[in-house]
Structure 1
C-alpha cells in the first residue's frame, strides 16, 4: 500500500519535521510513504523516503493516481489565522484524494482557529469524507463534535518521538536553560527588548548557560542572534535539523522558556520545567493540559523585572512533569498509531 503524506514539510520547521518523523515512526511497515515536500531532495536524504514536490500539479496528480491512502501528517494545517491560502491548499489536496477514491486520514490535527466561514465549511466537508480522524487537543475535538464528527483524541505524537543525545551538549556549563522565540506580529520589537532584558537579569541572578534554540532558521535565528549579542554570560545557539536530536537538546536542561508548541512538548517530555510565551491558542491548550505557567504575548508585562522574577521563582521552586505523567502522555500519543494500523486491516 502506498500513502501520500501531506504537511508543512521541507521548510526547515523543527516541529513539523518532528511530526513527520513521528508519523514515519508509527507507520506500519506494510505502507510505503510518499512525502509531499517543499524540498523533496532534502526530505528524501533526511528520512530515506520517496518524495514529491508539494507545489507541482502534475507530479502530485500522478502520485495520487498510483497511491491508496492520503494522510494529513499532523499539526495545525487547517487554520486561517496565518492565511486563507494554507487551509484551501491542504483541503484541496484532501478533496482531490477523496475524489480519486483514496482512503483519507486527518492525522494528529489541531483544527482551527477557523474564522472565515468558507474555510470552516471547507474543513467540515473534507473531514466528513475522511476514513479516520485523530486530533491532538480537546478544543479541536469540541469543534468537530459540533459537526457530528467523533475523532480519536490523543496527545501530540511528538510526545512519543524518541530523542537522540546531542554531542558536546554535556560539556556546556550547568545549569542550562533553553530559550525558543520565533518571529510573530505579537512579538513586537518592544516586547523582544523587554524579554531580552528579562533574560539578562535572569542570567545574572542564576548564572545559567542559555541555550538559544531556533526551530526554524528563517523565523527564529535572527532573534536568537539578537539575544545572544546582549547576554552577559554563557550561551550557545543550537541549530539542528534532525528532530530526534532537537528533542535531545532538552535532556539535562533545567528549564525551557518557549514560544513554539513543540519546543514546550519536547522539553516537557524530557523532564524539563517549562514556561510558555503563547502566541497561538494551540500553546494555550498545552498550557492548560499539562499545567505549565506562562503569559500570552499580548498580555506580557512591560516591566522586565516582573518577568525575570517570575522566571527565577519558577526556576527555583517549579517542578517538571512527573515521570508517570510523561509516560502516560507518551503512551496515549501512540493512540494515533491505531488509525494507521487499521488501514492495513481494512
Structure 2
C-alpha cells in the first residue's frame, strides 16, 4: 500500500520534521510513504523516502493517482490564525484525496483556532469523510465532538520520538539553559527587549551557559543572534537539523525557556525543567496538561526583574517531570500508531 503524507515539511521547522520522523517510525512496514515537501531533495536525503514538491499540482495528482491512503501528518494544519491559505490548502488536498477514493487519515492533529466560517466548514467536511482521526489535545477533541466526530486523543507523537545524543554538548560550560524564541506578532520589539534584559539578569545571577536554539532558522535565528550579541556570559547558538538530535540536545540542559510547542515537549521528555512563553492555545494546552509554569506573551510582565526572578526561582526550586509521568505520556502517544495499523487490516 502507498500513502501520501502531507504536512509542513521541508521548511526547516524542527517540530514538524520531528512529527514526520515520528510518523515514519510508527508507519506499518506494509505501507510505503510518499511525502509532499517544500524541499523534496532535502526530505529524500534526510529520510530516504519518495518525495514530491508540495506545490506542484501535477506531482501531487501523480502521487494521489498511484496511492491508496492520504495522511495529514501531524501538527496544527487546520488553523486560520496564521492565514486562510494554510487550512484551505491542506483541506483541499484532503478533499481531493477523498474524491479520488483514497482512505484518508487526520493524524495527531491540533485543530483550530478556526475563526472563519469557510475554514470551519471545510475542516468539518473533510474530517467527517476521514477513515480515522486522532488529535493531540482535549480542546481539539471537544471541537470535533460538537461536529459528531469521535477522534482518538493521545499526547503529541514527538513524546515517543527516539532521541540521539549531541556530540560536544558536554564540553560546554555547565549549568546549561536552553532558550527558544520565534518571530510572532505577540513577540513585539518591546517584549523582546524585556526578555533579553531578563535573560541578561538571569545569566548574571546563575552564571549559566545560555544555549539559543532556533527550531526554524527563517523565524528563530535572527532573534537568537540579537540576544546572543547582548549576553555578558557564556553562550552559544545551537542549530540542529536532525529531529532526534534536536530532542537529545535537551538531555544535556538543566532548564528550557521555550515558545515553540515542540521545544517544550522535547525538553520535558528529556527530564529538563520547562518554562513556557505561550503565543498559541496549543502551548497553553501543554502547560495545563503537564503543569509547567509560564506566561502568555500577551500578559508578559513589563519589568525584566519580575521575569528573571521567576526564572531564578524555578531554576533553583522547580522540578522536571518525573520519569513515571514521562513514560505514561510516551506510552499514550503511541496510541496514534494504532489508527495506522488499522489501515492494513
Whether 1:177 and 2:168 are equivalent positions in the alignment is: no
Residue 252 of structure 1: CA displacement?
Answer: 2.4
> What secondary structure is seen at the aligned counterpart in 2 of 1:182?
coil
Q: What are the within-5 Å matches in structure 2 for residues 64-143 of structure 1?
A: 64-143=64-143
> What secondary structure is seen at the aligned counterpart in 2 of 1:19?
helix
Structure 2 alignment gaps of length 5 or more? none
C-alpha RMSD over aligned residues: 0.4
Separation of aligned partners in 2, 1:35 and 1:321:
34
Separation of aligned partners in 2, 1:239 and 1:303:
30
Equivalent residue number for residue 320 of structure 1: 320
Separation of aligned partners in 1, 2:38 and 2:254:
35
Equivalent residue number for residue 229 of structure 1: 229
Separation of aligned partners in 1, 2:58 and 2:288:
44
Structure 2 length-normalised TM: 1.00
> What secondary structure is seen at the aligned counterpart in 1 of 2:150?
coil
Displacement over 6 Å in runs of 4+: none
Listed one character per residue, the Cα deviations across residues 74-107 of structure 1 (whole Å, up to 9, x for unaligned) are: 0000000000000000000000000000000000
How many pairs are equivalent?
A: 345
> What secondary structure is seen at the aligned counterpart in 2 of 1:249?
helix
Listed one character per residue, the Cα deviations across residues 151-174 of structure 1 (whole Å, up to 9, x for unaligned) are: 000000000000100000011111
Equivalent residue number for residue 190 of structure 1: 190
Separation of aligned partners in 2, 1:140 and 1:216:
25
Listed one character per residue, the Cα deviations across residues 57-84 of structure 1 (whole Å, up to 9, x for unaligned) are: 0111011000000000000000000000
Separation of aligned partners in 2, 1:257 and 1:246:
15
Equivalent residue number for residue 56 of structure 2: 56
Separation of aligned partners in 2, 1:321 and 1:141:
25
Residue 247 of structure 1: CA displacement?
Answer: 0.4
Equivalent residue number for residue 205 of structure 1: 205
Listed one character per residue, the Cα deviations across residues 205-239 of structure 1 (whole Å, up to 9, x for unaligned) are: 00000110000000000000000000010011000
Q: Is the 8 A contact 2:169 2:252 kept in 1?
A: no
Structure 1 length-normalised TM: 0.99
Equivalent residue number for residue 256 of structure 2: 256
Equivalent residue number for residue 27 of structure 2: 27
Equivalent residue number for residue 303 of structure 2: 303
Equivalent residue number for residue 147 of structure 1: 147
Separation of aligned partners in 2, 1:62 and 1:226:
44
Equivalent residue number for residue 329 of structure 2: 329
> What secondary structure is seen at the aligned counterpart in 2 of 1:250?
helix
